[in-house]
């Protein structure tokens, strides 16, 4: 069976350097998976009693996962800088770069997405996005990370669910690997993942209904009307409150994932973060034949303005995302 190491070597477009960074990201995810598995045994469950840069309650495992990912990203000597959901400022690694490396990278990541779920033993994940580092590393600064999602060279997520999976793209389709705990290898179990273009399943936090804009309310009203309404068919609903798990389900059987702008999050621009949530997941969804939008624009075209910028997110089955964006155009 093909494992990740073999797969990386075989991909002609993956330069050796990117392959090394990717292998380190995968190894970090194996260690994070182990930390989550053993969390209740090692006292790693629960809150830390502090808030992160986003003002969110930090879990102990948020910090552990962040530390693990940072440690692995320093191993290749090819990563020039890191941005994490858990850190206000980037971490520059230029002093650790391999001398004269021709291909340094920047890595942006969410070490433990959906972490509010972790104490309840519900699926969580790690998301990462890899960008080319500007050639002149002496002028590396916050701005160097503000590249549109279309410029990502690789994006991936690990999902810590009923099994641990790594799903990634280097711009040539989407591949899914399952961790074989006996050997520690990620085995290619889901080659060339494709999102079905049509769906009858939506994922949204319905409790925010009264805060949404009217196009969003109208779209959900029509889904809820089912066969009797304009859509002429019944819809099913899912909400795990863990973007990785939600997008993974959509990669497996289709669906639409929505975190819209609303009157509660309008000041911040939305709920989900552009650089290390929406962009990498958007890249994966598009590579699997789906669509990723804010409701009004393609996510991967957005020129980022800030490291922790938030945006509205609508992604998944192509025809359903197009239907929803139609409500915003009307």
Minimum CB–partner distance for residue 145 and ligand F6P (Å): 18
Cβ at position 199, least distance to ligand F6P in Å: 18
Mapped to the 3 state alphabet, what secondary structure does 194-241 carry?
CCCCCCCEEECCHHHHHHECHHHHHHHHHHHHHHHCCCCCCCEECCCC
Neighbours of 134 (CB within 10 A): 16
Let me know: does 314 contact 192? Beta carbons within 8 Å.
Answer: no
Residue with Cβ nearer ligand F6P (244 or 291): 244
Q: What is the largest CA-CA distance in the chain?
A: 66
**Between 86 and 113, CB nearer to ligand F6P:** 113
Quick check: helix, strand or coil at residue 150? helix
* Closest to ligand F6P by CB, 219 or 259: 259
Give min distance, CB of 273 to ligand F6P, in A: 7
The H-or-E segment that residue 249 falls in is: helix 243-253
| Residue corresponding to tokens 């309840």 | 120
Region 184-243 residues binding ligand F6P, contact defined as CB under 6 A: 205, 241-243
Nearer to ligand F6P, 277 or 320 (CB): 277
Task: Mark residues 243-272: x for contact with ligand F6P by CB under 6 A, - for none.
Answer: x---------------x------------x
Closest approach of ligand F6P to the CB of residue 303, in Å: 22
* 244, two tokens: 């990785």
CA dihedral 34, 37, 40, 43 (to 10 degrees): 10
- Here the tokens at position 60 are 């102990």
The dihedral over CA atoms of 280, 281, 283, 284, expressed in degrees to the nearest 10, equals 120
DSSP state of 330: -
Nearer to ligand F6P, 17 or 114 (CB): 114
φ/ψ of 38, rounded to 5, equals: -100, 5
Minimum CB separation from ligand F6P for residue 40, in Å? 21
Residue 57 or 222: the one with the smaller Cβ distance to ligand F6P is: 57
Least distance to ligand F6P, CB of residue 127, Å: 9
Q: DSSP label at 56?
A: P
Q: Which residue is nearest to ligand F6P (CB)?
A: 243
Q: How far is the CB of 140 from ligand F6P (least distance, A)?
A: 27
What x/- string results for residues 271 through 290 when contact with ligand F6P is judged by CB under 6 A? -x----x-------------
Binding residues for ligand F6P restricted to 120-149, rule: CB under 6 A = none
Find tokens 């090394």 and name the residue. Answer: 20
Is residue 114 part of the contact set for ligand F6P (CB under 6 A)? Answer: yes
- Chain residues binding ligand F6P by CB under 6 A are 113-114, 205, 241-243, 259, 272, 277
């Amino acid at each position: 069976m093909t494992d990740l190491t073999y797969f990386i070597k075989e991909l002609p477009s993956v330069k050796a350097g990117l392959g090394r960074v990717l292998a380190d990201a995968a190894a970090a995810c194996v260690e994070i998976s182990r930390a989550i598995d053993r969390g209740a045994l090692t006292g790693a469950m629960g809150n830390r009693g502090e808030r992160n840069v986003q003002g969110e309650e930090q879990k102990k495992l948020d910090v552990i996962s962040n530390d693990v990912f940072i440690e692995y990203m320093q191993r290749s000597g090819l990563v020039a800088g890191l941005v994490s959901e858990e850190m206000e400022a980037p971490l520059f690694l230029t002093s650790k770069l391999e001398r004269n490396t021709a291909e340094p990278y920047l890595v942006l990541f969410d070490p433990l997405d959906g972490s509010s779920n972790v104490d309840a033993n519900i699926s969580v994940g790690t998301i990462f996005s890899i960008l080319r580092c500007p050639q002149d590393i002496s002028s590396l600064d916050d701005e160097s990370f503000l590249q549109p999602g279309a410029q990502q060279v690789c994006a991936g997520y690990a999902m810590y669910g009923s099994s641990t999976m790594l799903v990634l793209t280097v711009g040539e389709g989407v591949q899914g690997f399952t961790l074989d705990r006996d050997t520690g290898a990620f085995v290619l179990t889901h080659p060339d993942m494709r999102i079905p273009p049509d769906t009858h399943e939506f994922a949204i936090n319905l409790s925010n209904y009264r805060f949404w804009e009217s196009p969003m309310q109208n779209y959900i009203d029509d889904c809820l009307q089912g066969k009797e309404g304009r859509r002429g068919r019944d819809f099913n609903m899912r909400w795990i409150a863990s973007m990785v798990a939600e997008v993974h389900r959509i990669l497996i059987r289709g669906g639409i994932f929505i975190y819209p702008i609303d009157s509660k999050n309008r000041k911040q621009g939305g709920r989900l973060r552009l650089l290390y949530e929406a962009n990498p997941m958007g890249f994966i969804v598009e590579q699997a034949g789906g669509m990723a939008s804010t409701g009004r624009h393609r996510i991967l075209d957005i020129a980022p303005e800030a490291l922790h910028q938030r945006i509205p997110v609508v992604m998944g089955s192509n025809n359903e995302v197009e239907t929803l964006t139609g409500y915003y155009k009307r």
